[in-house]
Chain A
Amino acid sequence: MKLLYFAWLRAKIGISEETVELPAGVSTVGELLKWLKRRGPRFADALQDASVVRVAVNQDYVPWDHPVRAGDEVALFPPVTGG
Protein backbone atom coordinates (compact mmCIF):
# COMPACT_ATOMS: atom_id res chain seq x y z
CA MET A 1 0.00 0.00 0.00
CA LYS A 2 1.17 3.51 -0.78
CA LEU A 3 1.09 6.06 2.05
CA LEU A 4 1.20 9.81 1.38
CA TYR A 5 1.63 12.62 3.91
CA PHE A 6 0.93 16.30 3.32
CA ALA A 7 1.45 19.72 4.93
CA TRP A 8 2.48 19.67 8.63
CA LEU A 9 1.92 15.91 8.82
CA ARG A 10 4.59 15.48 6.15
CA ALA A 11 6.88 17.91 7.97
CA LYS A 12 6.44 16.15 11.33
CA ILE A 13 6.77 12.62 9.96
CA GLY A 14 9.72 13.65 7.81
CA ILE A 15 8.75 11.90 4.56
CA SER A 16 6.18 12.63 1.86
CA GLU A 17 5.46 9.07 0.78
CA GLU A 18 6.37 5.44 1.35
CA THR A 19 5.24 1.97 0.34
CA VAL A 20 4.41 -0.53 3.10
CA GLU A 21 2.98 -4.02 3.29
CA LEU A 22 -0.55 -4.02 4.67
CA PRO A 23 0.13 -4.78 8.37
CA ALA A 24 -1.43 -7.89 9.91
CA GLY A 25 -4.67 -7.10 11.74
CA VAL A 26 -5.22 -3.80 9.90
CA SER A 27 -8.40 -3.66 7.86
CA THR A 28 -9.72 -0.11 8.42
CA VAL A 29 -8.39 3.45 8.31
CA GLY A 30 -8.71 3.70 12.10
CA GLU A 31 -6.64 0.55 12.61
CA LEU A 32 -4.04 1.83 10.17
CA LEU A 33 -3.73 5.09 12.14
CA LYS A 34 -3.26 3.14 15.39
CA TRP A 35 -0.56 1.03 13.73
CA LEU A 36 1.19 4.13 12.33
CA LYS A 37 1.23 5.83 15.75
CA ARG A 38 3.27 2.92 17.12
CA ARG A 39 5.95 3.20 14.43
CA GLY A 40 8.05 5.76 16.29
CA PRO A 41 8.10 9.15 17.99
CA ARG A 42 7.67 11.16 14.79
CA PHE A 43 4.50 9.25 13.88
CA ALA A 44 3.24 9.36 17.46
CA ASP A 45 3.74 13.14 17.56
CA ALA A 46 2.18 13.79 14.14
CA LEU A 47 -0.86 11.60 14.80
CA GLN A 48 -1.47 12.30 18.50
CA ASP A 49 -4.62 14.37 17.79
CA ALA A 50 -6.71 12.37 15.33
CA SER A 51 -9.34 15.15 15.22
CA VAL A 52 -7.04 17.20 12.97
CA VAL A 53 -6.11 14.31 10.68
CA ARG A 54 -8.04 13.75 7.47
CA VAL A 55 -7.71 10.60 5.39
CA ALA A 56 -8.25 9.89 1.71
CA VAL A 57 -8.26 6.37 0.27
CA ASN A 58 -7.67 6.25 -3.47
CA GLN A 59 -8.20 10.03 -3.59
CA ASP A 60 -11.59 10.15 -1.87
CA TYR A 61 -12.22 11.43 1.67
CA VAL A 62 -13.18 8.55 3.96
CA PRO A 63 -14.25 8.03 7.60
CA TRP A 64 -12.20 6.01 10.14
CA ASP A 65 -14.21 2.82 9.58
CA HIS A 66 -13.48 2.76 5.83
CA PRO A 67 -11.67 -0.43 4.74
CA VAL A 68 -8.04 -0.39 3.61
CA ARG A 69 -6.55 -3.03 1.34
CA ALA A 70 -3.17 -3.91 -0.12
CA GLY A 71 -2.66 -1.76 -3.20
CA ASP A 72 -4.63 1.21 -1.84
CA GLU A 73 -3.26 4.74 -1.97
CA VAL A 74 -3.85 6.18 1.51
CA ALA A 75 -3.16 9.86 2.17
CA LEU A 76 -3.03 11.56 5.59
CA PHE A 77 -3.26 15.34 5.92
CA PRO A 78 -4.67 18.19 7.99
CA PRO A 79 -8.01 19.88 7.12
CA VAL A 80 -7.64 21.57 3.73
CA THR A 81 -7.13 25.32 3.29
CA GLY A 82 -7.41 26.10 -0.41
CA GLY A 83 -9.03 28.95 -2.29
Chain B
Amino acid sequence: MIRVQREDFDVGAEIARLTEGRHEIGGIVTFVGVVRDTAQGDRIRAMTLEHYPGMTEKKLGEIEAEARRRWKLEASLIVHRYGRLEPGERIVLVITASGHRQAAFEACEFLVDWLKIKAPFWKLEETSAGPRWVEAQSGDDAATKRWVAE
Protein backbone atom coordinates (compact mmCIF):
# COMPACT_ATOMS: atom_id res chain seq x y z
CA MET B 1 0.00 0.00 0.00
CA ILE B 2 1.11 3.53 -0.60
CA ARG B 3 -0.13 6.90 0.66
CA VAL B 4 0.86 10.50 -0.05
CA GLN B 5 -0.41 12.96 2.53
CA ARG B 6 0.19 16.28 4.22
CA GLU B 7 -0.53 15.09 7.75
CA ASP B 8 1.77 13.19 10.11
CA PHE B 9 1.56 9.43 10.68
CA ASP B 10 1.68 7.28 13.82
CA VAL B 11 4.34 4.59 13.29
CA GLY B 12 2.95 2.17 15.88
CA ALA B 13 -0.61 2.50 14.61
CA GLU B 14 0.54 1.97 11.01
CA ILE B 15 2.44 -1.22 11.93
CA ALA B 16 -0.54 -2.52 13.89
CA ARG B 17 -3.00 -1.82 11.07
CA LEU B 18 -0.73 -3.36 8.41
CA THR B 19 0.03 -6.57 10.27
CA GLU B 20 -3.01 -7.23 12.46
CA GLY B 21 -4.05 -10.90 12.35
CA ARG B 22 -1.27 -11.71 9.87
CA HIS B 23 0.37 -14.54 11.79
CA GLU B 24 2.47 -15.70 8.86
CA ILE B 25 4.62 -12.61 9.50
CA GLY B 26 7.81 -13.25 11.46
CA GLY B 27 9.65 -9.96 11.02
CA ILE B 28 8.73 -6.31 10.51
CA VAL B 29 11.25 -3.66 9.40
CA THR B 30 10.45 0.04 9.64
CA PHE B 31 12.28 3.05 8.20
CA VAL B 32 11.30 6.58 9.23
CA GLY B 33 12.92 9.57 7.51
CA VAL B 34 12.90 12.82 9.49
CA VAL B 35 13.89 16.44 8.78
CA ARG B 36 17.45 17.29 9.92
CA ASP B 37 18.24 20.75 11.30
CA THR B 38 21.40 21.25 9.24
CA ALA B 39 22.42 20.89 5.58
CA GLN B 40 25.83 21.71 4.11
CA GLY B 41 26.75 23.54 7.32
CA ASP B 42 23.66 25.75 7.32
CA ARG B 43 20.91 25.75 9.87
CA ILE B 44 17.57 24.59 8.44
CA ARG B 45 14.43 26.22 9.81
CA ALA B 46 12.07 24.10 7.72
CA MET B 47 11.68 22.44 4.35
CA THR B 48 8.77 22.35 1.96
CA LEU B 49 8.21 19.17 -0.02
CA GLU B 50 6.60 19.67 -3.40
CA HIS B 51 5.39 16.71 -5.44
CA TYR B 52 3.65 15.76 -8.66
CA PRO B 53 0.18 14.54 -7.64
CA GLY B 54 -0.75 11.47 -9.65
CA MET B 55 2.74 10.60 -10.81
CA THR B 56 3.93 10.33 -7.19
CA GLU B 57 1.32 7.68 -6.41
CA LYS B 58 2.07 5.90 -9.69
CA LYS B 59 5.83 5.74 -9.09
CA LEU B 60 5.52 4.70 -5.43
CA GLY B 61 3.11 1.94 -6.53
CA GLU B 62 5.58 0.73 -9.16
CA ILE B 63 8.48 0.71 -6.70
CA GLU B 64 6.42 -1.23 -4.17
CA ALA B 65 5.37 -3.75 -6.85
CA GLU B 66 9.02 -4.18 -7.85
CA ALA B 67 10.03 -4.90 -4.22
CA ARG B 68 7.29 -7.47 -3.96
CA ARG B 69 8.51 -9.15 -7.15
CA ARG B 70 12.04 -9.38 -5.77
CA TRP B 71 11.29 -10.43 -2.19
CA LYS B 72 8.63 -12.55 -0.54
CA LEU B 73 6.85 -9.90 1.49
CA GLU B 74 3.67 -10.56 3.43
CA ALA B 75 2.86 -6.84 3.74
CA SER B 76 4.34 -3.46 2.81
CA LEU B 77 3.50 0.20 3.22
CA ILE B 78 4.99 3.47 1.98
CA VAL B 79 3.70 6.77 3.40
CA HIS B 80 5.30 9.98 2.07
CA ARG B 81 4.39 13.45 3.33
CA TYR B 82 4.42 16.75 1.45
CA GLY B 83 4.09 20.38 2.51
CA ARG B 84 6.12 22.38 5.05
CA LEU B 85 7.98 20.33 7.67
CA GLU B 86 10.24 21.47 10.50
CA PRO B 87 13.31 19.69 11.93
CA GLY B 88 12.35 16.55 13.81
CA GLU B 89 9.16 16.05 11.81
CA ARG B 90 8.64 12.76 10.01
CA ILE B 91 8.84 12.82 6.19
CA VAL B 92 8.54 9.22 5.05
CA LEU B 93 7.60 5.82 6.44
CA VAL B 94 8.47 2.46 4.87
CA ILE B 95 7.30 -0.77 6.49
CA THR B 96 8.08 -4.24 5.17
CA ALA B 97 6.93 -7.49 6.75
CA SER B 98 7.98 -11.02 5.85
CA GLY B 99 8.09 -14.54 7.22
CA HIS B 100 11.82 -14.25 7.91
CA ARG B 101 13.82 -11.10 8.61
CA GLN B 102 16.18 -11.02 5.63
CA ALA B 103 13.51 -10.27 3.02
CA ALA B 104 12.03 -7.48 5.16
CA PHE B 105 15.44 -5.86 5.81
CA GLU B 106 16.54 -5.99 2.17
CA ALA B 107 13.21 -4.89 0.71
CA CYS B 108 12.97 -1.95 3.12
CA GLU B 109 16.42 -0.68 2.13
CA PHE B 110 15.61 -1.18 -1.56
CA LEU B 111 12.38 0.82 -1.22
CA VAL B 112 14.08 3.74 0.54
CA ASP B 113 16.92 3.84 -2.03
CA TRP B 114 14.55 3.69 -4.97
CA LEU B 115 11.96 6.15 -3.79
CA LYS B 116 14.74 8.75 -3.46
CA ILE B 117 15.49 8.59 -7.18
CA LYS B 118 12.10 7.58 -8.61
CA ALA B 119 9.42 9.42 -6.65
CA PRO B 120 8.78 12.97 -7.96
CA PHE B 121 9.41 15.02 -4.82
CA TRP B 122 11.48 18.20 -4.47
CA LYS B 123 12.67 19.87 -1.28
CA LEU B 124 12.93 23.61 -0.72
CA GLU B 125 14.97 24.34 2.42
CA GLU B 126 14.55 27.49 4.49
CA THR B 127 18.11 28.28 5.59
CA SER B 128 19.64 31.23 7.42
CA ALA B 129 20.92 32.34 3.97
CA GLY B 130 17.44 32.18 2.39
CA PRO B 131 15.45 29.52 0.52
CA ARG B 132 17.41 26.86 -1.37
CA TRP B 133 16.30 23.94 -3.56
CA VAL B 134 17.95 20.67 -2.51
CA GLU B 135 20.03 19.16 -5.32
CA ALA B 136 19.89 15.46 -6.10
CA GLN B 137 22.70 13.51 -4.44
CA SER B 138 24.93 11.43 -6.67
CA GLY B 139 25.14 9.04 -3.71
CA ASP B 140 21.44 8.31 -4.15
CA ASP B 141 22.09 7.07 -7.68
CA ALA B 142 25.05 4.99 -6.45
CA ALA B 143 22.91 3.49 -3.69
CA THR B 144 20.43 2.17 -6.24
CA LYS B 145 23.08 0.75 -8.59
CA ARG B 146 23.84 -2.18 -6.33
CA TRP B 147 20.21 -3.30 -6.65
CA VAL B 148 20.54 -3.26 -10.45
CA ALA B 149 23.68 -5.37 -10.39
CA GLU B 150 21.91 -8.27 -8.71
Contacts and interface: CB of A to CB of B under 8 A. Distances in A.
Whether both chains belong to one complex is answered with yes
A80 B116 CA distance: 7
Given A82-B92, A82-B120, 17 more contacts: A6-B52, A6-B122, A8-B133, A59-B52, A59-B59, A75-B52, A75-B55, A78-B135, A79-B135, A80-B122, A81-B134, A81-B137, A82-B49, A83-B91, A83-B112, A83-B115, A83-B116
Nearest to B58: A59
Contacts of A59: 52, 54-55, 58-59
A32 interface: no
Main secondary structure of the interface of B (DSSP, over half): mixed
Contact of A77 (B49, B91, B117, B122): B122
B115 A82 contact: yes
A7 B50 contact: yes
Interface of B: 33, 49-52, 54-55, 58-59, 80, 91-92, 112, 115-124, 133-137, 140
Contacts, number: 68
A55 to B, nearest CB: 11
A80 B56 CA distance: 11
A79 B44 CA distance: 21
A78 B117 CA distance: 11
A78 B133 contact: yes
Nearest to A54: B120
A1 interface: no
Contact of B52 (A8, A56, A81): A56
A80 B137 CA distance: 9
Contacts of B59: 59
Contacts of A79: 135-136
A26 interface: no
